[in-house]
Amino acid sequence: MEINIKLAESLIDAFDCEETGIILWDQNDNIAYRNKNISDRFIKLNIDFEVGQNFFDRIKIFKKTKILTSDQINLRETNYVTAKKIGKPQQFVVKGPTGRWVQVKDTPTSEGNILTLMTNVTEIVEQDLERKRLANAIENVPLIIQYWDENDKLIFANAKADELHEQWEVNCKFTKGLAYEDMVRAQLSSEIFKIPEGETIESEIKKRKKYRKNVESNYREVFLENGKTWYVIDKRLNDGSFLSIFSEITDIKDKEAQYKQLADALDNLPMPMLFWDKEDKLITSNKRSREFQGKWEIKLEDGMSWESMFKKQIDAGVYVISENKSIEDFTKERSNFRAELIQDRKRETLLSDGTTFFSNEIRLDDGSMLSVFTDISEIKEREKSLKLLNDAIEIIPNNMMLWDKNNKLIMANAKARDDNASRGFDLKKGASRLGMVKNALKKRFYDRAKGNFSKRFS
């Protein structure tokens, strides 16, 4: 056969440009040809594929340099020997000394030579590894994952699906090809799933299949007879397949119910309450707050700023501001109060409708602030009345003293204090009645004949 030199040169040039490593071994296992790519890569490792080098001599070099592990060297040698012995291609995949994943394929030729192709399959192998890791994660994630084809036949379900079916005593295994309606039928036949009132198993299956046919993307909650609640995301994909992901949210629903009870309780507290975030935006207000602010036609809205609410209050004349203080100073004072609040602080505020609020404002760890207002208007009125009474008692021209059950002074008016002071006795709160009497005896103000105090001390 006449050799076309030009064609041969073109082939060699093409092989040298190919990323795949190409080595041709002759009948005596010596290198007859290797392309430039494989030569350049192994020159960097000081183990070039030199023309004329023997395959088994290279194996000895690898064993000596330990660039490859013993298992990798044995695999390489076995693959080559087996291909030559049985006359059929042999191949394997290994991570080579250059750090790339390589498919090594030894193919016997009709003339007894061996053609070795070393193909870089790093991208394919790493993608496969990623898929395996993803598959392992999906298999072991604490969610139920079901993937159905466009005909509602099961493509995949993870281990959690089978685990829970077994736990719930549902007679159905998630095997590939399982019909969706067969799964639903098995579930509704168990005690864990409740058939809606007025429905049969078959009518419920029909209803669910209709839902799946029409849904594009949806979420729903499933309530089981064991008290558990599952959150389900359904998604119809572009190719018609259907993905469902189930996540148990029982604890979340329980906490949600508890939070709702707490929210209802706070909303119905008889005192106003406001809850602000760290940016002084209103998170929520209770019913009493909204009703009270409504007296001045101020509407409390979640998300409104404290500055906005306070300005509306100023404009509506909510606060009683002392004559020696300007609105600007009053506003600055309140703003600084909030800015400087790091824990909790209490204060009293008089409003223009006569109401006096005792406010307890608490700064929480996350920067938010809770304000609770107690109406102490009646207490303040009683304080005024008591002060008037106390002032009247104070100026009565007779001695007046009030003692507790242990004969300790609760209060005494000015006349009583002055008279006892003139006798050298300090009639202060907590003073002893016996001490006062003894002091009086010393001063001879006791009427021995009558056996009691003189009238001026009665």
- Name which residue leads in pLDDT, 223 or 41: 223
Tell me, yes or no, whether 233 lies in a domain: yes
What percentage of the chain exceeds 70 in pLDDT?
94
Is 284 in the same domain as 347? yes
Q: What pLDDT is attached to residue 6? A: 64
Is 427 in the same domain as 453? yes
What is the pLDDT averaged over residues 203-208?
Answer: 93
Tell me, yes or no, whether 406 lies in a domain: yes
Is 233 in the same domain as 285? no
Tell me, yes or no, whether 244 lies in a domain: yes
Is 288 in the same domain as 242? no
Residue-wise pLDDT for 141-160, tens only, equals: 889 999 999 999 999 999 99
Beta strand 90-95 with 101-108 is antiparallel
Secondary structure (H, E, C), 272-291: CEEEECCCCEEEEECHHHHH
pLDDT class for 47, splitting at 50, 70, 90? confident
Q: What pLDDT is attached to residue 5? A: 62
Residue ending a domain, among 63, 87, 121, is: 121
Type of residue at 330: F
Q: What pLDDT is attached to residue 4? A: 62
Tell me, yes or no, whether 388 lies in a domain: no
Is 339 in the same domain as 233? no
Q: Which residues, in sequence order, are bridge partners of residue 116?
A: 23, 106
* CB neighbourhood size of 387 (10 A): 10
pLDDT class for 385, splitting at 50, 70, 90? confident
Which of 89-98, 158-167, 347-356 has the largest mean confidence? 158-167
66: left (phi over 0), alpha (psi -120 to 50) or beta: left
Pick from 329, 381, 324, 311: nearest CA to 350:
381
Is 180 in the same domain as 225? yes
How far, in Å, CA of 199 to CA of 184, rounded? 14
Please tell me the pTM assigned to this model: 0.51
What CATH number is attached to the domain comprising 157?
3.30.450.20
Domain hosting 116: range is: 5-121
Give CB contacts under 8 A, 24+ apart, made by 70-76.
76/104
Tell me, yes or no, whether 211 lies in a domain: yes
- Asked if residue 36 lies in contact with residue 12, where contact means CB atoms within 8 angstroms, the answer is no
| pLDDT reading at 404 higher than 80 | yes
Q: Give φ, ψ of 425 to 5 degrees.
A: -120, 130
* CB neighbourhood size of 72 (10 A): 16
Average pLDDT, the chain: 87
> Cα angle at 131 between 128 and 134, to 5 degrees?
155
Tokens of 291: 């009703």
Residue ending a domain, among 121, 155, 190, is: 121
How far, in Å, CA of 136 to CA of 156, rounded? 13
* Matching residue, tokens 């103000």: 445
Tell me, yes or no, whether 136 lies in a domain: no
Is 158 in the same domain as 247? yes
Is 285 in the same domain as 375? yes
How far, in Å, CA of 414 to CA of 401, rounded? 10
Residue-wise pLDDT for 162-195, tens only, equals: 999 999 999 999 999 999 999 999 999 998 888 8
What is the count of structural domains for the chain? 4
Is 245 in the same domain as 275? no
- Asked if residue 424 lies in contact with residue 439, where contact means CB atoms within 8 angstroms, the answer is yes
What is the pLDDT averaged over residues 243-252?
Answer: 93
| pLDDT reading at 262 higher than 90 | no
Is 152 in the same domain as 100? no
Tell me, yes or no, whether 132 lies in a domain: no
How far, in Å, CA of 371 to CA of 361, rounded? 4
Pick from 86, 101, 119, 109: nearest CA to 24:
109
What is the pLDDT averaged over residues 37-52?
Answer: 81
Q: Which residues, in sequence order, are bridge partners of residue 102?
A: 94, 120
| pLDDT reading at 457 higher than 50 | no
- Asked if residue 243 lies in contact with residue 237, where contact means CB atoms within 8 angstroms, the answer is yes
Q: What pLDDT is attached to residue 337? A: 86
What is the pLDDT averaged over residues 237-251?
Answer: 94
Tell me, yes or no, whether 385 lies in a domain: no
Question: Strand 21-25's sheet: what is its strand order?
Answer: 31-34, 21-25, 114-120, 101-108, 90-95
Is 310 in the same domain as 408? no
Residue ending a domain, among 253, 278, 308, is: 253
- Helix and strand element counts for the chain (H, E): 15, 19
Is 277 in the same domain as 368? yes
Q: What pLDDT is attached to residue 449? A: 39
How far, in Å, CA of 235 to CA of 87, rounded? 52
Residue-wise pLDDT for 277-320, tens only, equals: 999 999 999 999 999 899 899 999 999 999 999 999 999 999 99
